[in-house]
């Protein structure tokens, strides 16, 4: 029995030592993996912070660009409104000029018709006078 107990002691020592060594190694590997996981998490957090910073800058640039576009559109709309007002004023002026010209045409047509009437009247009188002068009663 002694041999069995010596063998069993040797086996227990070897196996127990191996188990103890395995346990110590497993614990150290676990700590090592935990530290690696933590460092990866910290690296990911730093990367995420960089991504967030870049996203913030991008959004800020987009906002500035949108503000710039809005200001440009407002400026263009003001210019367009100004041009529309000027166009309406020009249209009113053109209509006034058109009506003035139509009035002048009507006035000139009226004067022309009066002059034509006077000319006809004068022509008739001259014609009648010529008939009177050229008309001599025949003596019989």
Q: What is the dihedral of CA 9, 10, 11, 16, to 10 degrees?
A: 80
pLDDT at 1: 46
pLDDT tens-digit map of 2-30: 556 667 667 666 666 566 666 677 788 88
- For residue 137, give the DSSP letter: P
Mean pLDDT of the 107-112 span: 92
Mean pLDDT of the 17-45 span: 78
């Amino acid at each position: 029995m002694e041999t069995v107990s010596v063998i069993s002691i040797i086996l227990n020592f070897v196996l127990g030592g191996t188990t103890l060594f395995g346990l110590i190694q497993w614990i150290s590997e676990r700590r090592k993996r935990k530290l690696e996981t933590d460092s990866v998490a910290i690296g990911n957090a730093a990367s995420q912070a960089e991504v967030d910073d870049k996203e913030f800058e991008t959004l800020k640039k987009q906002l500035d660009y949108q503000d710039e576009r809005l200001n440009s559109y407002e400026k263009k709309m003001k210019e367009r409104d100004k041009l529309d007002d000027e166009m309406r004023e020009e249209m009113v002026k053109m209509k006034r000029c058109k009506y003035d010209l139509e009035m002048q045409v009507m006035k000139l047509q009226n004067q022309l018709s009066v002059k034509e009437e006077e000319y006809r009247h004068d022509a008739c009188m001259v014609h009648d006078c010529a008939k009177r002068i050229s008309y001599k009663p025949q003596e019989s």
